[in-house]
C-alpha cells in the first residue's frame, strides 16, 4: 500500500533526507544558504503587475485558483527565482498551501474523512486557527459547507453527548474548547476514541445483542480514529461478528446432537475470554461436524501448518518473483513494469507487516506481501503452507489473486526509481497513491479482457474474498467515471496522506523551522563564554535531527542544545538548501501526475470504445515513469 | 414553483415510496429551496444536510451541481443526494444516452451481488429521461484484509434537455434507504430547470 515507515510524523524518510542532503552541493545557494535577495527597486516592482497580483492573491489572500496558475507558470517562476529568490520561495510556499487546502476541502464531503486529512496538516498556517480556516473557506471556496467544516474541526456543537461528557470530565467546556486549536482538540477526541476502541478490543461477545452494542460503540468511535486504528478495529469486529454468528449457527446444529464432546466445546466457546479463543473452539466444532465455515476458518488463529518459517518465506518469495513477470504482459501497467524489471532486479518478499496488504520497501527494494494476507488465503481455501509450496494450483490461485496488489507496489517501486533518476527526493504523497490505484484498477480491466483465467478468478474469488470484490468494484468505478474514481481514492483510501502540494508545503515549512531554530541556537552559542562553548564545539552529538511535522517546535529546539556546533552548521546549510530546492522537486512531480492522469484517461477511453470523456485528452500520453 | 412528477411505473417495485402516499417520517423532515443558477435548476432539498460544491472543478468538467450529505445514523455511511447538470462538452459523457449506457454496462467483471435494474422511462418538470436503481456495496474500511461490505442502494434519474442533461442521484445504505428516500422524492417533485 505504501512505503514502510512512512508516517505523517516522518514525511522525509532518513534515507531520502540523506539523498536530499547529497544533492545540496548542486544547488545554487552555496554554502551560506540562500543568498539575501537582491532588493528590487520599488519602481521596478511596481511595474511588475503580475508579481504584484501574485503577491496579493497568493501571498496575502491564499487564493487557490491563482495559486494553481502560479504553480503552473514556470516561466514566471524562473524569472522571479532569478530576481528575488526569497520572495519566490515565500510565494511558492503560500501557493502550495492554498492549492493543497483547496484539494483537501473539496475532496471530502464526509467530515470524519476531512478531519483525517486536516490532522496531517500540522504546519498549516490556515489551520492554525479554526476560525481563520473557516473564513478562508468562506472567501475562497463558497461550495464548502461551513457546518461540515465546523464538524471536521471538532466544533463543540458537533460533538456527541459522550464526547462532551468525556471532555467535561477532563475539565473542558464550550468556552475553553472554542479557544483551542484544532490539533489540541483532535488529540483529546482521539484519546476518547482510542479509549473506546481499546475497551471494545477487550470484549468477546457471544450474542447478537452483545455484538450490536459493540457495533454501536464502534461507529461512534470511528470518526475519531486514525486509519490504522480503523483497520485494526475493523479486523477485530469482523472476528467478533464471525464468532457471534457462528455460535448461533452451531447452537442450532447441536440442538439435537448427543455428542458430549461437541457440546462441551460449544460451552467452552461460549465462556471463552477472548474472540480468538472463541473462534478456536468453534473451528474445532465445525471440524467435529465435518463441516467448513469459511468465515471461522479465515478469522481463527492460524494452525501450525498455516504458519511460515524462514525457509518457507524464502521459497515462496522465489516462486512469486518468477511467476509475477509471466502475468504482466499485454497491459499498460504490466508492460511498464516488465520494461522496468529489464533493468532492475525484481524481488518479492512475504513477511508480516501489520495491517497493510503489501508495501514497497525502498530499503531492500522488495515488493512485500503481508504474510497475514497469505495465511488468510490458505485458511479460506483449507490449505497449508506445504500445499502452497508444492501444489501449483494452490500457488497459482494466490499468485493470481495477489497480482493487482503486487502490481500496485511495483508502481511504487517505479515511482521511487523515477524520483532518484530525476534527482529529486522520493516524496510519497497522495498523488502517488492515486497513480498506483489507477494503474492497479486499469490493470484489472485490461487483464480481465485479455486473460480468461484472471477473469475467472475475479468472478469466482468474490464469493470468498471481500478484497477481490473491492478490487472489482474499484475497476468498475474507474471505468464509469475517472474523475469520481480519483476523488474517491483521495477521500476514502488515503485521506491522511498529503497531496503533492501539501507535501511541498510541509517540507518547506519544516525546512524553515529547522533553519530558524538552528540559527537561533547558533546565535545563542555565540553569546556563550569560551569555556561554556568548548564542549559544544568539540563534543556534542553529531546527529542532525530533523523537524518532521511535529506540532511542538519547542521540543525540537531543545533537542538542538546537545548537538555539535559544526553538525548544527551543516544542518543549517542542509535546511536552507532543501527549502530552496523544493520548487524544483515539485515540478517533476507535477508533470508526472499530469502524465499519469493523461495515460489513464486515454486507456479508459480506449476500453470504453470512444464514448465520452474526450476533453482531457489534449496531449499524447507519457509513460508513468519507471525507467529506473 | 411548478410541480413535477416522476412517472416510473416499474420503479415502484424497486422503490415502494415513489409516487405512493408519503410516509410519516417525511413529515418530520424540513426542506429548504435550492436555487442553483450555475446548475440551471431549482428544487427543494432537506434542510440541514451538508452541501458541497466545487466551482473550479465544475468549470473544468462542465458538470455543475451540488452534493448533499445527510446525517449518519448507525454506521459509517450517510445518505447522499447529488443533483448535477452535465453541460454540452462535459468531460464525463456527451449525451444522456452515453451516460446511461456506461452506468448500465455490467463492467468487464460484474461485481458479485450488484444488481442494476432495467432503465425505465421517467420524466420530471416536463423533461423526459430514464431512471434505474442499483444495489451495490461500499467497502469499509477500504483496502483492508477485514473490509466490511455494506449494502447501499443508488437511484438514478437522468433527464434530457435540449443541450446537456441532468443526473439526480440518491444514495443511501440499503438498511436506511426507504427512510431517507422521501428527500429524493421531494427534490424530484419540486425540480425545475431554469
Q: State whether B143 and A357 contact (CB < 8 Å).
A: yes
By CA distance, what is A489's nearest residue in B?
Answer: B142
Task: Tell me which chain A residue has its CA closest to the CA of residue B81.
Answer: A109
Give the strands of the sheet with A366-370, arranged side by side: A348-351, A366-370, A358-361
Q: What is the pLDDT of residues A510-519, one digit of tens each?
A: 999 999 999 9
Contact A483 B139 (CB under 8 A): no
pLDDT at residue A490 in the model = 92
- Please report which confidence band the pLDDT of residue B184 belongs to, taking 50, 70 and 90 as the band edges: very high
Nearest CB to B50 within list A109, A483, A614: A109
Q: Residue B94 and residue A472: Cβ atoms within 8 Å?
A: no
Q: pLDDT for A552-587, tens place per residue?
A: 889 999 999 999 999 999 999 999 999 999 999 999
Q: What is the pLDDT of residue A5?
A: 32
**8 Å CB contact of B137 and A215:** no
Of A102, A483, A614, the CB nearest to B61: A483
pLDDT of residue B9: 34
The 10s digit of each residue's pLDDT in B73-115 is 777 899 999 999 999 999 889 899 999 998 988 777 889 999 9
Q: Would you call A459 and B110 a contact, using CB atoms and an 8 Å cutoff?
A: yes
Alpha-carbon span A323 to A457, nearest angstrom: 16
Contact: B112, A144; criterion CB under 8 Å: no
**Is the Cβ pair B51, A1 closer than 8 Å?**
no
The model carries a pTM of 0.85
Q: Calculate the CA A308 to chain-centre distance.
A: 28
Reported for A127-133, long-range contacts at CB under 8 A and 24+ positions apart, including other chains, are A127/A101, A127/A182, A128/A181, A129/A181, A130/A155, A130/A181, A130/A182, A133/A101, A133/A182
CA A475 to chain centre: 20
Looking at the complex, report in whole angstroms how far the Cα of residue A451 sits from the nearest Cα belonging to chain B.
Answer: 12
> Considering chain A, what percentage of its residues have pLDDT values greater than 70?
90
Contact A143 B109 (CB under 8 A): no
Q: Is the pLDDT of residue A237 over 90?
A: yes
Q: Is the pLDDT of residue A178 over 80?
A: yes
Query: With a CB-CB cutoff of 8 Å, which residues 414-453 of chain A face chain B?
Result: 444-445, 448-449
**Bond preceding residue B141 cis, omega within 30 of 0:** yes
| pLDDT (tens digit per residue) in A189-229 | 999 999 999 999 999 999 999 999 999 999 999 999 998 89
Whether A610 has its CB under 8 Å from any CB of chain B: the answer is: no
- Residue A11 in this model has a pLDDT that exceeds 80: no
CA angle (A598, A600, A606) in 5-degree steps: 105
Is A20's pLDDT higher than 50? no
Whether A60 has its CB under 8 Å from any CB of chain B: the answer is no
Name chain B contacts of A218, Cβ cutoff 8 Å: none
Beta strand pairing call for B148-160 and B31-36: unpaired
Query: Is B149 in Cβ contact with A469 (below 8 Å)?
Result: yes
pLDDT higher than 70, residue B5: no
ipTM: 0.81
pLDDT band at B14 (very low <50, low <70, confident <90, very high): very low
A626 has pLDDT over 60: no
Of chain B, the end-to-end C-alpha distance in Å amounts to 11
Q: Output the pLDDT for position A269.
A: 97
Residue A227 with chain B: CB contacts under 8 Å = 141
E strands, A345-414, are: 348-351, 358-361, 366-370
pLDDT at position B40: 83
Could you state, in order of their start, the residue ranges of all structural domains in chain B?
11-18+30-193
Over range A117-139, report the average pLDDT.
92
Give which of B144, B151, B164, B169 to mutate to test A binding, by max A Cβ within 10 Å.
B144
* Partner residue facing A480 (CB), from B62, B91, B103: B103
Of A46-50, A184-188, A458-462, the least confident: A46-50
Mean pLDDT in residue range B24-46: 81
Among A1, A145, A476, the residue with its CB nearest the CB of B50 is A145
Residues of A in contact with B149 (CB under 8 A): 466, 469
With a cut of 90, say whether residue A98 has pLDDT above it.
Answer: yes
pLDDT of residue A45: 53
Q: Answer yes or no: CATH 3.50.50.60 is held by domain B11-18+30-193.
A: no
Contact A101, A124 (CB under 8 A): yes
Write the pLDDT tens digit of every residue in A487-512: 999 989 999 899 999 999 999 999 99
pLDDT at A407 over 70: yes
The string of DSSP codes covering A23-52 is HGGGSTT-TT-SPPPPPPPHHHHHT-HHHH
Q: How far is B78 from chain A (nearest CA, A)?
A: 8
- The CA distance from B21 to the nearest CA of chain A, in Å, is 32
Which cell is A490 given?
Answer: 483521495
Determine the residue of chain A that is closest to B53 in CA distance. Answer: A143
Specify the range with the lowest mean pLDDT, choosing from A10-24, A300-314, A520-534.
Answer: A10-24
Q: Does residue A16 carry a pLDDT above 90?
A: no
Nearest residue on chain B to A376, alpha-carbon basis = B145
Residue of B nearest to A482 (CA): B92
B contact test, residue of A71, A412, A468, A472 with most B CBs within 10 A:
A472
At B8 the pLDDT is: 36
- In B, minimum Cα distance to A449 occurs at B108
Q: Please give the average per-residue pLDDT across A68-76, as a whole number.
A: 96
Inform me whether the C-beta atom of residue A458 falls under 8 Å from chain B C-beta atoms: yes
State residue B27's pLDDT score.
53
- Count CB neighbours of A43 within 10 A: 7
What is the spatial distance between Cα A87 and Cα A76, in angstroms, rounded to a whole number? 13
Calculate how close chain B gets to A420, using CA atoms only, in Å.
Answer: 28
- Using the beta-carbon criterion (under 8 Å), do B91 and A222 form an inter-chain contact? no
Domain residue extents for chain A: 33-152, 208-301
Residue of A nearest to B80 (CA): A109
Q: In the prediction, which pLDDT does A46 show?
A: 56
Select the residue of A473, A608, A616 nearest B111 (Cβ to Cβ): A473
The confidence score (pLDDT) of residue A187 equals 95
A109 touches chain B (CB under 8 A): yes
CB contacts of B71 in chain A (<8 Å) are none
Determine the average pLDDT of the residues in A456-466.
Answer: 90
Average pLDDT in chain A: 88
CB atoms within 10 A of CB B106: 10
Q: Do B99 and A493 touch (CB under 8 A)?
A: no
Amino acid at each position: 500500500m505504501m512505503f514502510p515507515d512512512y508516517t505523517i510524523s516522518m514525511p522525509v524518510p532518513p534515507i531520502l533526507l540523506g539523498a536530499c542532503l547529497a544533492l545540496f552541493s548542486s544547488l545554487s545557494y552555496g554554502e551560506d544558504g540562500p543568498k539575501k535577495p537582491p532588493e528590487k527597486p520599488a519602481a521596478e516592482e511596481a511595474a511588475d503587475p503580475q508579481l504584484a497580483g501574485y503577491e496579493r492573491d497568493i501571498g496575502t489572500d491564499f487564493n487557490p485558483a491563482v495559486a494553481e496558475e502560479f504553480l503552473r507558470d514556470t516561466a514566471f517562476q524562473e524569472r522571479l527565482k532569478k530576481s528575488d529568490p526569497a520572495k519566490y520561495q515565500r510565494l511558492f510556499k503560500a501557493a502550495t498551501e492554498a492549492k493543497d487546502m483547496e484539494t483537501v476541502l473539496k475532496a471530502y464531503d464526509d467530515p470524519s474523512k476531512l478531519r483525517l486529512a486536516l490532522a496531517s496538516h500540522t504546519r498549516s498556517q490556515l489551520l492554525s486557527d479554526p476560525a481563520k480556516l473557516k473564513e478562508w473557506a468562506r472567501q475562497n471556496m463558497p461550495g464548502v459547507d461551513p457546518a461540515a467544516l465546523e464538524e471536521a474541526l471538532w466544533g463543540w456543537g458537533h460533538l456527541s453527548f459522550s464526547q462532551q461528557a468525556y471532555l467535561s470530565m477532563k475539565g473542558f467546556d464550550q468556552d475553553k474548547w472554542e479557544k483551542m486549536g484544532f490539533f489540541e482538540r483532535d488529540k483529546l477526541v482521539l484519546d476518547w476514541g482510542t479509549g473506546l476502541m481499546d475497551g471494545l478490543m477487550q470484549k468477546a461477545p457471544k450474542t447478537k445483542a452483545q455484538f450490536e452494542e459493540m457495533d454501536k460503540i464502534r461507529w461512534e468511535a470511528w470518526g475519531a480514529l486514525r486509519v490504522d486504528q480503523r483497520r485494526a478495529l475493523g479486523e477485530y469486529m469482523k472476528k467478533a461478528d464471525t464468532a457471534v454468528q457462528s455460535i448461533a449457527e452451531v447452537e442450532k446444529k447441536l440442538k439435537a446432537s448427543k455428542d458430549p464432546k461437541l457440546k462441551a466445546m460449544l460451552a467452552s466457546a461460549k465462556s471463552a475470554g477472548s474472540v480468538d479463543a472463541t473462534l478456536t473452539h468453534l473451528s474445532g466444532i465445525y471440524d467435529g461436524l465435518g463441516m467448513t465455515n469459511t468465515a471461522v476458518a479465515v478469522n481463527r488463529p492460524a494452525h501450525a501448518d498455516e504458519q511460515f518459517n524462514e525457509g518457507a518465506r524464502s521459497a515462496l518469495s522465489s516462486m512469486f518473483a518468477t511467476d509475477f513477470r509471466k502475468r504482466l504482459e499485454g497491459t499498460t501497467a504490466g508492460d511498464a513494469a516488465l520494461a522496468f524489471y529489464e533493468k532492475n532486479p525484481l524481488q518479492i518478499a512475504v513477511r508480516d507487516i501489520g495491517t497493510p496488504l503489501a508495501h514497497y520497501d525502498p530499503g531492500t527494494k522488495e515488493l512485500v506481501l503481508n504474510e497475514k494476507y497469505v495465511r488468510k488465503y490458505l485458511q479460506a481455501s483449507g490449505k497449508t503452507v506445504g500445499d502452497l509450496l508444492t501444489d501449483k494450483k494452490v500457488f497459482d490461485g494466490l499468485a493470481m489473486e495477489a497480482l493487482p496488489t503486487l502490481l500496485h507496489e511495483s508502481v511504487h517501486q517505479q515511482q521511487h526509481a523515477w524520483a532518484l533518476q530525476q534527482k529529486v527526493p522520493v516524496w510519497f504523497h497522495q498523488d502517488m497513491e492515486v497513480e498506483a490505484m489507477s494503474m492497479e484498477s486499469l490493470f484489472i480491466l485490461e487483464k480481465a479482457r485479455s486473460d480468461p483465467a484472471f477473469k475467472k478468478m475475479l468472478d469466482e474469488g468474490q464469493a470468498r474474498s471481500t478484497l477481490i470484490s473491492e478490487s472489482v468494484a474499484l475497476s468498475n468505478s474507474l471505468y464509469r467515471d475517472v474523475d469520481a474514481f480519483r476523488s474517491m481514492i483521495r477521500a476514502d483510501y488515503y485521506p491522511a496522506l498529503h497531496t503533492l502540494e501539501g507535501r511541498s508545503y510541509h517540507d518547506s515549512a519544516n525546512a524553515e523551522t529547522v533553519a530558524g531554530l538552528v540559527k537561533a541556537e547558533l546565535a545563542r552559542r555565540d553569546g556563550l563564554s569560551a569555556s561554556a562553548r568548548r564542549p559544544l564545539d568539540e563534543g556534542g552529538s553529531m546527529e542532525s535531527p530533523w523537524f518532521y511535522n511535529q506540532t511542538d517546535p519547542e521540543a525540537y529546539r531543545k533537542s538542538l542544545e546537545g548537538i555539535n556546533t559544526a553538525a548544527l552548521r551543516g544542518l543549517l546549510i542542509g535546511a536552507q538548501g532543501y527549502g530552496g530546492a523544493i520548487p524544483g522537486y515539485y515540478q517533476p512531480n507535477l508533470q508526472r501526475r499530469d502524465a499519469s492522469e493523461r495515460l489513464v484517461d486515454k486507456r479508459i477511453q480506449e476500453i470504453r470504445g470512444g464514448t465520452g470523456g474526450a476533453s482531457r485528452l489534449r496531449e499524447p500520453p507519457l509513460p508513468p515513469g519507471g525507467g529506473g | 414553483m411548478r410541480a413535477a412528477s416522476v412517472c416510473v411505473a416499474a420503479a415502484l417495485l424497486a422503490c415502494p415510496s415513489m409516487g405512493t402516499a408519503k410516509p410519516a417520517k417525511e413529515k418530520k423532515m424540513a426542506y429548504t429551496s435550492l436555487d442553483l443558477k450555475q446548475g440551471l435548476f431549482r428544487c427543494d432539498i432537506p434542510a440541514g444536510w451538508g452541501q458541497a460544491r466545487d466551482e473550479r472543478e465544475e468549470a473544468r468538467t462542465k458538470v455543475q451541481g451540488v452534493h448533499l450529505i445527510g446525517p449518519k445514523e448507525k454506521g459509517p455511511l450517510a445518505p447522499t443526494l447529488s443533483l448535477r447538470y452535465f453541460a454540452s462538452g462535459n468531460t464525463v459523457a456527451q449525451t444522456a444516452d452515453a451516460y446511461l449506457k456506461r452506468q448500465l454496462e455490467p463492467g468487464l467483471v460484474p461485481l458479485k451481488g450488484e444488481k442494476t435494474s432495467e432503465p425505465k422511462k421517467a420524466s420530471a418538470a416536463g423533461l423526459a429521461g430514464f431512471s434505474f436503481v442499483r444495489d451495490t456495496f461500499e467497502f469499509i474500511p477500504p483496502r483492508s484484509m477485514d473490509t466490511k461490505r455494506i449494502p447501499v442502494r443508488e437511484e438514478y434519474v437522468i433527464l434530457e434537455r435540449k443541450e446537456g442533461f441532468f443526473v439526480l442521484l440518491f444514495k443511501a445504505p440499503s438498511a436506511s434507504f426507504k427512510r431517507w428516500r422521501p428527500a429524493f422524492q421531494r427534490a424530484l417533485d419540486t425540480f425545475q430547470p431554469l
